[in-house]
């Protein structure tokens, strides 16, 4: 086998993800071929998910939350259109909250958002918020994860009635069925 053929044989590609892993410079170690095969299977599984494969067998549904980051990757035109439309509606709602076009029932402005979720629906946004830090713009975010009732109580107990009245409640459900 020529050097070029060895190089080509060492590539693992996943076309629709535009990802190619080059194993040609990795020293051969026992198990490398198995690791390469597992990486190839993982990339293939990711490609199948992006193409709309059912991944949640219990609920017989697609798992495409990553389509929210890039609606063009959604497997059907109707779905892409719904994603873009929903994103625009959410952005418009957020603009109205920030500018004061939508206000709390008792008047004033929203000053914080209570983000309610289960597990990853709360923990993912919380990690991002904590990692990036709080901006001086927009709303303060308070995360309520129902898998942490003590944290839930602590967050709510720390707020006065006025602070609660100035809080927008956002409930997150990745599946839409929670």
Closest to 65 measured CA to CA, from 127, 144, 146, 120: 120
Q: Can you give the pLDDT at residue 57?
A: 73
> pLDDT tens digits, the chain, 178 residues: what are they?
677 777 777 777 776 677 788 877 776 654 666 777 788 888 888 888 777 788 777 777 777 777 888 898 888 899 899 999 999 999 999 999 999 999 999 899 999 999 988 877 788 888 888 888 777 788 988 888 877 778 878 888 888 888 899 999 999 876 666 5
**Contact status, residue 148 vs residue 121, Cβ threshold 8 Å:** no
Count, in order, helices (H) and strands (E) of the chain: 6, 7
User: How high is the pLDDT of residue 31?
Assistant: 62
**DSSP string across 144-156:** EETT-HHHHHHHH
Contacts of residue 127, defined as CB under 8 A and 6 or more positions apart, other chains included, come to: none
């Amino acid at each position: 086998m020529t050097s070029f053929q060895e190089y080509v044989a060492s590539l693992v590609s996943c076309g629709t993800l535009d990802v190619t892993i080059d194993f040609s410079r990795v020293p051969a170690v026992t198990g490398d071929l198995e690791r390469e095969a597992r990486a190839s299977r993982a990339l293939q599984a990711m490609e199948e998910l992006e193409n709309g494969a059912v991944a949640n067998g219990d609920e017989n549904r697609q798992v495409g939350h990553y389509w929210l980051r890039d609606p063009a990757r959604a497997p059907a035109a109707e779905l892409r259109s719904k994603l873009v439309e929903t994103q625009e509606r959410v952005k418009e709602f957020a603009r109205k909250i920030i500018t004061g076009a939508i206000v709390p029932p008792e008047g004033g402005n929203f000053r914080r958002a209570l983000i309610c979720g289960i597990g990853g629906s709360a923990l993912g946004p919380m990690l991002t918020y904590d990692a990036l830090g709080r901006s001086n713009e927009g709303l303060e975010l308070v995360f309520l994860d129902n898998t942490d009732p003590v944290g839930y109580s602590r967050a709510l107990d720390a707020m006065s009635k006025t602070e609660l009245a100035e809080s927008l409640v956002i409930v997150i459900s990745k599946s839409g069925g929670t």
